[in-house]
Structure 1
C-alpha cells in the first residue's frame, strides 16, 4: 500500500534553513515547511528523524501499560501510598510521547519547530519532578527521612522544574548566533535538575555506610539507572559518533537515536528500582515517613503542569504574533541554502 503513496522528498543540509541543521548530519532532512500529512507519512520512510520518533513513541505504550496496571489492578486511587508512583508513571508516558510528537511535527515551520520542542522540554522537566516525588516517597535512605534536606527537597524540585523549562525554552533563541552558548544552557537546564533529584540516590549508593543506609535489592537497579543516565547526557552533549564521521550516521546510529534508547532504558531501570524500594520499604516508610497526601503528590504534578504550560505560552506568544508575511518572505516556498539569521525568525 505504501508503494501507492508518494512519500515526502528528503534533502541535504545545504537545502534547509540553518535552524534545522544537526551537527554531523548531512542528509535525510525533511522539507522545512512540511504539511502535517507529510510529517506523518515520513514516519514510514527513512529520514534522519525516523528512529528518533519510533524510539520514543513505542516505549510510551509500555509505560502506559504500567500506569494502567497500577491504577486499575493495584487500586491506586484507594491507596495514597501509590500516588507518587502514579505521578511518576504519568511523567514516563508524557515525556517520550511529547518527544516523538516534537520530532514528528517539527518540520512544519521554524515556528512549529520551536513550539514543538517547548512542549518536549516541559515534558522532560515534568518527568524530573515525577522522579523527585517518587524518590521522596520511596527512595530516600532511612537516615535522611524527615531530615532538613528531606523537608525542602520537593519544594526545591518544584522550583527546579520551572527553571529547567524556562532555560531550555530560552536556549532555542540563540540557537544559530551562539550555538555553543545554546548548548551549554540546554545541557545545564536538564543536568542540574537530574543531579539535584538524585542526591539521595547518589548518597545511598556511593557514600552511605552503616546503619540507616537502606541497602537492599534495589541498589543494583539504581546503579544501572545512574550509568545509563550519564551515558545519555554524554551522548546529548557530545554528538558522538556522527561528529567523528559526518554523514556516516545520518539515518541510523547517530547520537540522538542512541540518546533516546539510553534514556528509555535508564527510565526502565529507574522504574524497577522505585518499585523495588516501594514494595520492600513500605512498612517502614508508613511508620516513619511523612504521610502521602494529594497535595504532596498529585497536587504537585498539577501545579507543575500549570507552571510549565504558562512558561511555554509566554515563550510561544512572540512566535505566534510574528507576521506571517514576513515569515514567508524570509523562508520562501521550498528548501534552499539560507543564512543563520533565519534561526530566530518565524
Structure 2
C-alpha cells in the first residue's frame, strides 16, 4: 500500500518566503496621538496607518480597513465606472467617439474629430481627478514629503477636472443664446483662470497652515472653487431656466448633478457628523467620506448628462463654433494642465525646503 505524505510540496516551501516578502503583513491602525499632527483629521481619533512604512504597505492598505478606505474605494470605483461607461458609449456609437478617426475610402490618413475631442478631454479630466485622489488618500501616510507631494497632485487633478467640466458644459450643454452672450464669449478664459487659482490657493493653504487649521485655511480652499462653480455650471443653469425640464432627457440628470455637488460641498466644508460625536465615525460615515461618495455620484450623473448632450449638440457644432475655435478650446486644456502642474511643482519645492529646515 503506497504511503501518503502529509508534508507540504517542495514548490510551496520554496515560494512561501517569496510570497511573504511580496505581501507583507500590514501593521494595524493606530490612534491619532500615535502619528504626527500633519496626518490627523479633526474629530477622527482612530483608524490611522502608521507613518514611515514601506510603500508597498500603503499600496496593500487598499485592502485594509482604515479611516481612508471609503475615500479610496469610492473614487477608485467611480474611475472604473467612468472608463467602462465611456467605452460602452464609444462602442455603441460605432467607435468614432475617440477624438481621432481614419479617413478615406481605404482607411488611409488620420483626421481629428474636433466635435468629440472636448468629450474625450472631459473623460480624461474625470479619470485624472479620481485617480489623483485615490493616490493621495492611499499613499499620503508614507512621509511628510509624500503627504505634501500627493496632495499637491490631488489639487492639480481637481483643477484639471474643473476645467474639463467647463470645456464640456460650455460646448455641449449650452444653447445658442447662452453661447452668443457676453458670458459665453469669456466663459473658457475665465474658467481657466479660476481653475488655476483653485489649484494655487489649495496648494498655498496646504503649505502655509498647520494643524489645528484656522478658519481662513478652509476659506482659502473653498472661495476660489465657490467662485468657479457658478461660472462652470452657468450653461446648465441658463438652459434649465429657459427650457422645459421634460424637453430633454439630459436636464433631469443635470439637476441631479447640481444637487449632488451642493451636498458634497456642504460635507467638504463642514465636519459633519463627526463633530457631534468624535471617534464614532472614524471608519465609516465621517464628512469627508460623504463628500467623496457624493462627488463620485455627481461625476457619474454629469457624465451621463454630457453623453446625451453630446449627441444633441454634435450635428451642429462645426456650423456654430467652427473647427478653428473648437481646436483652440481643446488646446487650452493641456495649457491649463501644464500651468497647474508647474505651480504644484514650485510649491512642492518650497515644501521640501521647509521640511529640511525644520529637520535641522
TM bucket, shorter chain: 0.7 to 0.9
Tell me how far apart the structure 1 counterparts of residues 129 and 343 of structure 2 sit (CA, whole Å).
17
2:226 alignment partner in structure 1 = 191
1:259 alignment partner in structure 2 = 291
User: Runs of 4+ in structure 1 displaced over 6 angstroms?
Assistant: none
**Contact 2:67–2:284 under 8 Å retained in 1:** yes
- Structure 1: gaps (5+ residues): 330-346
Tell me how far apart the structure 1 counterparts of residues 333 and 355 of structure 2 sit (CA, whole Å).
36
1:182 alignment partner in structure 2 = 217
Query: Which protein, 1 or 2, shows the higher relative CO under an 8 Å CA cutoff with sep ≥ 6?
Result: 1
Counterparts in 2 of 1:49-128, with a 5 A limit? 49-68=68-87, 73-75=95-97, 76-78=99-101, 79-128=113-162
TM-score by length of 1: 0.86
Tell me how far apart the structure 1 counterparts of residues 50 and 188 of structure 2 sit (CA, whole Å).
43
Tell me how far apart the structure 1 counterparts of residues 269 and 26 of structure 2 sit (CA, whole Å).
32
**Contact 1:175–1:182 under 8 Å retained in 2:** no
Tell me how far apart the structure 2 counterparts of residues 97 and 178 of structure 1 sit (CA, whole Å).
26
Give 1:315's match in structure 2, choosing from 334, 343, 347. 347
2:316 paired with 1:294: no
2:237 alignment partner in structure 1 = 202
Quickly say closer, same or farther: Cα 1:302–1:71, change in 2 above 3 A.
farther
Tell me how far apart the structure 2 counterparts of residues 44 and 8 of structure 1 sit (CA, whole Å).
12
2:267 alignment partner in structure 1 = 235
CA deviations over 1:30-84 (Å, ceiling 9, x no partner): 1132321221122221110112111111222222234445667224313211111
Matched residue of 2:47: which SS? strand
Tell me how far apart the structure 2 counterparts of residues 160 and 6 of structure 1 sit (CA, whole Å).
44
Tell me how far apart the structure 1 counterparts of residues 187 and 355 of structure 2 sit (CA, whole Å).
44
Select between 77-86 and 60-69 the one with higher mean Cα deviation: 60-69
